[in-house]
Each structure stands twice: as structure tokens, then as C-alpha cells.
């Protein structure tokens, strides 16, 4: 067949299956795996857990590849953790001490539906501020 890197090819096929788990919640595979491996969260938030099958371990490896190449769409920011989710192109750089539990919604002026510029300028270094303020709010 001429595949140069069979492992990379395998990971690409697994990533396709992981993508289906993310987007096709009515599939048989989703309905089988959901109660066993991620009953209380989404596929994107689940951790490996105890005694995982080889297939499940492989799907999570593929999910990590999907995570590396994706970013959150901000919307209202209620479900996005500033330090815990991949919503910026780089890790957020704080001016002072990092605030635990800070959510993106905390950086949005709820009444005006726009970024709270003052709070962003108080919390983040220049590069992070610039990137945040360039993100459109939905």
C-alpha cells in the first residue's frame, strides 16, 4: 500500500471515530460508551479512568489530537475555563497571580455583551489581552 507511517494513519482513522463520538450522540457506539466511560460528562472532558479497554484508550489518544487542533467558540463563555480549556492560541499569561476557577464569562460585560476591557487589562499580559479582545462574541 505504501503507507509511510502506519501509526499516524491509524491515529487519523481513530480521530475520525472520536469526531463521530463528539458529534453523533445518537449512534450505537456513543450509546454503548457513554454509560460505561463518561456517564457524567462529555467525551471531550472525560479522563482515562480505571481499567479502560484498548479501544477506549486509543479513542482518547485520538481525542487529544483533536483537542490540540481545535479551539472553543466563545459564545457566552459560561462553560469555558480561562486556564483549563483551549480557547486561545497560547496559554493565558496573567499579570499577577492566576485566579483559580476563572471562567470566560467573568471577562464579559453581561449587559453590553462585549468584553470587559478593564478587567482584561487588569488580569492579562499584552499578548493575551490582544488575542482575547480580537475574539468576536456571539
User: Domain for residue 1, yes or no?
Assistant: no
In a domain, 62, yes or no: yes
Which residue range(s) make up the domain with 113? Answer: 71-138
Look at residues 45, 68, 91 and tell me which one is the last residue of a structural domain.
Answer: 68
Residues 92 and 63 in one domain: no
**Whether residues 87 and 116 fall in one domain:** yes
Using the 3D structure, point to which of 33, 53, 68 is the last residue of a domain: 68
In a domain, 95, yes or no: yes
Same domain, 99 and 50: no
In this structure, the answer to whether residues 126 and 77 fall within a common structural domain is yes
Question: Residue 72 in contact with residue 85, Cβ under 8 Å?
Answer: yes
Specify if 130 maps to a domain.
yes
Task: Find the mean pLDDT for residues 57-66.
Answer: 92
The pTM score is 0.62
Examine residue 127 and state whether it is found in any structural domain, yes or no: yes
Q: What is the pLDDT of residue 98?
A: 75
pLDDT at residue number 138: 74
Mean pLDDT value of segment 120-132: 92
pLDDT tens-place string over residues 93-107 = 787 777 778 999 999
Q: Which of 68, 84, 101 is the last residue of a domain?
A: 68
The tally of CA atoms less than 13 A away on the side-chain side of residue 110 is: 4
Task: Output the DSSP codes for 41-110.
Answer: S-TTT----SS--HHHHHHHHHHHHHHHT-----TT-TT-BTTTS--SSS---BSSSPPTT-BGGGGEET
pLDDT tens column, 26-56: 999 999 999 999 999 989 889 988 888 999 9
Which pLDDT band holds residue 89 (cuts at 50, 70, 90)? confident
**Does residue 120 register a pLDDT over 80?**
yes
Q: What is the pLDDT of residue 2?
A: 59
Amino acid at each position: 500500500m505504501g503507507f509511510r507511517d502506519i501509526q499516524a494513519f491509524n491515529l487519523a482513522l481513530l480521530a475520525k471515530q472520536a469526531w463521530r463520538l463528539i458529534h453523533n450522540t445518537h449512534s450505537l457506539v456513543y450509546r454503548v460508551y457513554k454509560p460505561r466511560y463518561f456517564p457524567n460528562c462529555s467525551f471531550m472532558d472525560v479522563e482515562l479512568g480505571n481499567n479502560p479497554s484498548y479501544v477506549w484508550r486509543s479513542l482518547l489518544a485520538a481525542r487529544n489530537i483533536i483537542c490540540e487542533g481545535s479551539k472553543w467558540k466563545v459564545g457566552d463563555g459560561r462553560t469555558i475555563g480561562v486556564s483549563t480549556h483551549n480557547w486561545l492560541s497560547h496559554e493565558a499569561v496573567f499579570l499577577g497571580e492566576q485566579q483559580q476557577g476563572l471562567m470566560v464569562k467573568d471577562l464579559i460585560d453581561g449587559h453590553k455583551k462585549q468584553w470587559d476591557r478593564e478587567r482584561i487589562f487588569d488580569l492579562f499580559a499584552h499578548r493575551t489581552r490582544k488575542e482575547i479582545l480580537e475574539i468576536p462574541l456571539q
